[in-house]
Amino acid sequence: MGATLRALRALVLLLGFYLLSLVLLAALAGVDVLVFSWGHGPLTAKVGFVTVLLAIPVVRGMLMLRTPKGEDPPGLPVTDADEPRLWALVRELAAAAGTRAPDRILLTGEVNASVSEDPRLLGLLPGPRRLTLGVPLLIGLTEAQLRSVLAHEFGHFTGGDTRLSALVVRGRVQIGRVIGQFHAKADGKVAADRARQERASAKRVAKGRKAKEIDTTGVGATYRTMARIYTAYGKLYLRASLSTARGQEYAADLTAARIAGRDATASALREIPALSASHDFYVDSYATLGLHARLLPPRGEFFGGFGRLLTAREPEPAGLRAELPEMPVGPYDSHPPIADRVRRIEALPADGRTDEARGSALTLLTDPERTLGALEDAVLLDELLACPRAAGWEELLNASMAAGLSATTTPLHRALTAYTGQPATLSALLDLIDDGRLWRLAERLPLSEQAAAAKGRAFREFVRPALLGSLRTMVLAEFSACSLLTWEFSWTSPATVRLPGWETGAGDDSPEAELDAALEAAVADHPDTTRLRALLPPAVQNA
Amino acid sequence: MTVLFWILGILAVPTAVFLLWLLWVFLKELFSPSPDDGDTDADAEAARAAKAAAKLGLLPAERQNTELAAPLPEQWTAALAAVRGGDWQPAADLLAAVGRDWERRSALAYQLADRAAEEDAWLLAWEAARPDDPDAAVVRARSTVILAWKIRGAKAAKYTTREQAEGFHRTLTAARADVARAAALNPDDPTPFVAEIWVALGLGYPNARMDELWTEITSRAPHHYEAHFSALQYWCAKWRGSERLAREFAERAAAGAPLGSLLTVLPLIAHFEHDESDDTEADNTPEMRARVEAALADAAAADPSHPRLPELRHLLAYYLHLQGRNEAALEQFRLVDGHVNALPWRHDSDMAGYYCRVRNTTVALAEEAATAGV
């Protein structure tokens, strides 16, 4: 389908929205006419009122012509002077794709690259173009792969996809807005009705009567019906524009393969899902590690640490890349499945460009470290930026683990508080165990049905894992409070705790094994806390 | 006006008929009430059968012991009562007296271990007093295995919670050390290995490893009842074998055992464990009839005080009944009545009720046959 035809279809679909709205308005008016000519009294008034209420969102949806301005996502704008090599690459690729280079480049913190255009006159005239480029892509891709990604994006420019998207987006936004309005009204109505019923119910209770069940089904149903009509049209709209969107992706892939080489394109497509998964993991487990301790990684490391993770875990994503993610594609997803795209690219004849530009794409930046630092300022929230910085990843880990441990309340803490009525402390727990009341205390733990039904040894077996885990946490917290605990930071495996090297006598026993044995002895059928007490910092020993 | 009366009159007729019918039912119920709970013939029959069974001195469901398959010897009961009170001495003496009667040693160790799986203070005291006593060690080994199975619960794997499964696994793994210790302390005793079969079931030993374990057992006690019973469970389709493997194992063991060893029970159990049918056709094949015959001969030849004989009788009673030999079935029922924790009743949630239903039907049919014969 040519660009003109696509433009025409987009226009027709957008006009369809107005037509649908007009038909609905006409239907509402028709109801009014019928009721006014045959109905009488209060019914007419009520029907009139309802139709007007329903007409309001429809009319508003039609009148709201302005699509929201495509706002910049949080990012760091870079000029030609800042990053001459990146700009040169971008210009070169745009020229190769036969299109105008973007006017602005915005670096972001996401695993994504995209181009957009603010066209004028409903896409009849071109407008300023913007390239958003995720720094994690620069970190994780080779230069050749980055070229492929950029060439893919410029392929969209060439196809005129970005210009037409204005129409498509307008339709999508407008329908979405009307649906949202109807749902908001319905929700508001349900909420109001619930509040009214609750007030009435409260009054009944106050008068000593039984409270009525609060029932809000049905309220807001008319609004929801209207929303449903628009949703149905919205689905049609998306489906119609979908095949186009997918076709555009394939076309852009071909452009990328032509400009950046077949192998680089295929490997970039394989790499990106793996990179995306790794990045999610990185952000969760590393970048935001110190969040509850209100501590940030050293400047530049919030994004830069991702590179260290990738280097350390080099062999791992290889597995992720080798098998393509066969994720089912939603009916309204604009992108075809990655596996499909890779297969199409790999089916192309070899072009002999296997070994180009294998260096990291990050080296395109003039001063990666400065840029990574500046990106943090541009992307992270102000309250996050206000947090102090750790001197290094180890300190970040130690601080965050210490904060986590001191804040943790285990089920055993709660059981102990419930049993003794005192704040739960380790020394109180150990005294209680010595007193032979561990299994009485254990009955206060949250128990499964089976554990609660069990007796004697079976009961103790059921609760032992929970006891052991909680006790371990409490003991570690105690060490942590005395600053006796260090954590071993690793880019490849979960943090492991390092206990101070006790003089255990038996030289080959590691403190960890010693601790485990002591913990097990403390929650054995016949508990013995001597070993554990011997390991603990003096403050608890003497308690 | 007259027309109106006519219409009303016609309409009143069905109402009047209905009211008269209600009155009749009420009067009938007043003078000859229908039986309260037994509006079906089946219930009335069941009540008659229960009465007949009671006349023969057979016990009602609520008086059946659901813990055991047969009464325990007096000394055993006394020893078990003593350990409940914390005194391990009688148990130790008894186990020592049983000596190398492996069948009885396994059974007694099981009973003691079952108590120790609940609370083991007395066993700990025993172990403390006699550190390397092989008798205490065998009770310990069995008790840890039983504890694991208590934690698992009796439900099928899919209804077993994760917590149960993990505790089961953990405890079974720990039990292996206890089993090994008990075996080392008394190298001739097959009992620790019998306990290990239940570890094999739970941890899913590969068949080859089970074969090795089996050699350990048969070299010590070639026709041990509990070992064969347990191993057959392992070979059943629901655990680590298949219907074919279970049948083969059962037939082979039964064929190779001397009369009176009670191993003729195995083919019956293998059949029972894999029989999914709702009718009695599969229980009446010539093969099954021959198996029941063989089991009858085996039971007759066995030592009457064999601790496992009642278990065979329970199954015999069941299959004799299913084969229509109710008088013979009744004979077995009378020999075992009072204790019902045995196959085929054991798996039923109401084992006493199930047992009594089948037994009562047997009584009724046997009486019917007797009157018809007269």
Query: Which residues fall within 8 angstroms of residue B286, CB to CB, at 6 or more apart?
Result: none
Query: Tokens in use for B130?
Result: 């006699």
B11 is a domain residue? no
* pLDDT above 80 for A142: yes
Is the dihedral angle over the CA atoms B312, B314, B320, B322 positive or is it negative? negative
B250 is a domain residue? no
Question: What is the Cα–Cα distance from A207 to A385, expressed in whole angstroms?
Answer: 55
Average pLDDT over residues A5-33: 80
Chosen for mutation from B162, B163, B169, B171 (greatest number of chain A CBs closer than 10 Å) is B163
Chain A residues within an 8 Å CB radius of B117: 456-458
CB-based contact A239:A322 (threshold 8 Å): no
The amino acid at A504: T
Return the residue of B nearest to A450 by Cα. Answer: B164
Contact yes or no for A458 and B163 at CB 8 A: no
| CA atoms within 13 Å, Cβ hemisphere of B85 | 10
Question: What is the Cα–Cα distance from A240 to B123, expressed in whole angstroms?
Answer: 77
Query: Which residues fall within 8 angstroms of residue A401, CB to CB, at 6 or more apart?
Result: A480, A485, A487, A495, A497
Q: Give the global pTM.
A: 0.64
Range of lowest pLDDT (A126-130, A271-275, A389-393, B231-235): A126-130
* pLDDT tens digits for range A483-499: 777 788 888 877 777 77
**Residue whose token pair is 């005129």:** A160
pLDDT the model gives residue B267:
92
Buried b (16+ CB within 10 A) or exposed e, A240-278: bbeebbbebbebbbbbbbbbbbbbbbbbbbbbbbbbbeb
Return the residue of B nearest to A448 by Cα. Answer: B163
Nearest CB among B124, B161, B171 relative to A461 is that of B171
* pLDDT tens digits for range A381-415: 888 888 888 888 888 888 888 888 887 788 888 88
CB contact B167 to A (< 8 Å): yes
Chain B residues within an 8 Å CB radius of A525: 120
Question: What is the Cα–Cα distance from A461 to B237, expressed in whole angstroms?
Answer: 29
Query: Tokens in use for A236?
Result: 């049609």
Q: How many helices (H) and strands (E) does chain A have?
A: 22, 6
* pLDDT tens digits for range B210-263: 889 899 999 998 999 999 999 999 999 888 889 899 999 999 998 888 888 889
Contact yes or no for A458 and B117 at CB 8 A: yes
Q: How many other C-beta atoms are found inside a 10 Å radius of the C-beta of residue A299?
A: 15
Buried b (16+ CB within 10 A) or exposed e, B187-222: eebbbbbbbbbbbbbbbebeeeebeebbeebbebbb
CB-based contact B66:B352 (threshold 8 Å): yes
Helix axes B326-336, B309-322, angle to 10 degrees: 150
Closest Cα of chain A to B160: distance in Å?
A: 10
Closest Cα of chain B to A446: distance in Å?
A: 13
3-state secondary structure A245-260: HHHHHHHHHHHHHHHH
Phi, psi of A142 (to 5 degrees): -80, 170
Average pLDDT over residues B262-286: 87
Question: What is the Cα–Cα distance from A446 to A451, expressed in whole angstroms?
Answer: 9
Read off the DSSP letter of residue B36.
S
pLDDT the model gives residue B110:
92
Reduced to 3 states, what is the DSSP secondary structure of residue B354? Answer: helix
pLDDT the model gives residue A156:
77
Residues belonging to chain A with any Cβ–Cβ distance to chain B shorter than 8 Å: 448, 450-451, 454-458, 461-462, 465, 525-526
Query: Tokens in use for A313?
Result: 């875990």
Distances (CA, A) of B320 to B229, B283, B355: 21, 9, 14
B161 is a domain residue? yes
Phi-psi region at A108: left, alpha or beta (left = phi > 0; alpha = psi -120 to 50): beta
Distances (CA, A) of B374 to B361, B368, B369, B371: 20, 10, 9, 5
pLDDT the model gives residue A299:
85
B226 is a domain residue? no
Nearest CB among B118, B153, B167 relative to A456 is that of B118
Rg for chain A, CA atoms, rounded: 32
CB-based contact A358:A143 (threshold 8 Å): yes
B53 is a domain residue? no
Question: What is the Cα–Cα distance from A252 to A261, expressed in whole angstroms?
Answer: 13
The string of DSSP codes covering A132-159 is: EEEHHHHHHSBHHHHHHHHHHHHHHHHT
CB-based contact A372:A148 (threshold 8 Å): no
Question: What is the Cα–Cα distance from A310 to A113, expressed in whole angstroms?
Answer: 19
pLDDT the model gives residue A433:
87
Chain B residues within an 8 Å CB radius of A455: 118
Nearest CB among A462, A525, A526 relative to B151 is that of A462
Read off the DSSP letter of residue B222.
T
Contact yes or no for A457 and B167 at CB 8 A: no
Range of lowest pLDDT (A26-35, A130-139, A233-242, A444-453): A233-242
* pLDDT tens digits for range A47-75: 788 888 888 877 877 776 555 555 677 88
Return the residue of A nearest to B149 by Cα. Answer: A458
B106 is a domain residue? yes
Read off the DSSP letter of residue A105.
E
* pLDDT tens digits for range B136-191: 999 999 999 999 998 888 777 777 888 888 888 989 998 999 999 998 998 998 99
Closest Cα of chain A to B155: distance in Å?
A: 12
B357 is a domain residue? no
Distances (CA, A) of B37 to A70, A145, A180, A535, B47: 78, 83, 62, 70, 11
Read off the DSSP letter of residue B239.
T
Contact yes or no for A458 and B150 at CB 8 A: yes
Question: What is the Cα–Cα distance from A244 to A247, expressed in whole angstroms?
Answer: 5
0.95 surpassed by complex ipTM: no
Q: How many other C-beta atoms are found inside a 10 Å radius of the C-beta of residue A239?
A: 11
C-alpha closest to that of A365 among A139, A91, A114, A115 = A139
Return the residue of A nearest to B172 by Cα. Answer: A461
| A-proximal residues of B, 99-158, CB under 8 Å | 117-120, 124, 147, 150-151, 153
Reduced to 3 states, what is the DSSP secondary structure of residue A116? Answer: strand
As a residue count, chain B comes to 374
pLDDT the model gives residue B139:
92
* pLDDT tens digits for range B9-50: 776 777 778 778 888 877 777 766 655 554 567 777 778 778
Give chain B's domain count.
Answer: 1
Distances (CA, A) of A49 to A56, A220, A540, B163: 11, 15, 74, 60
Reduced to 3 states, what is the DSSP secondary structure of residue A76? Answer: strand
B203 pLDDT band, cuts 50/70/90, is: confident
Strands A486-488 and A129-134 come out as: unpaired
Distances (CA, A) of A13 to A68, A168, A221, A237, B310: 19, 8, 27, 7, 84
CA A494 to chain centre: 21
**Residue whose token pair is 């069940």:** A213
Question: What is the Cα–Cα distance from A26 to A30, expressed in whole angstroms?
Answer: 6
Structural domain of residue B98, as residue ranges? 71-221
Closest Cα of chain A to B171: distance in Å?
A: 8
* B52 vs A120, residue with greater confidence: B52
B158 is a domain residue? yes
pLDDT the model gives residue B192:
92
Size of the A and B interface in Cβ pairs below 8 Å: 36
Contact yes or no for B124 and A450 at CB 8 A: no
Contact yes or no for B118 and A461 at CB 8 A: no
* A103 vs A7, residue with greater confidence: A103
Contact yes or no for B118 and A455 at CB 8 A: yes
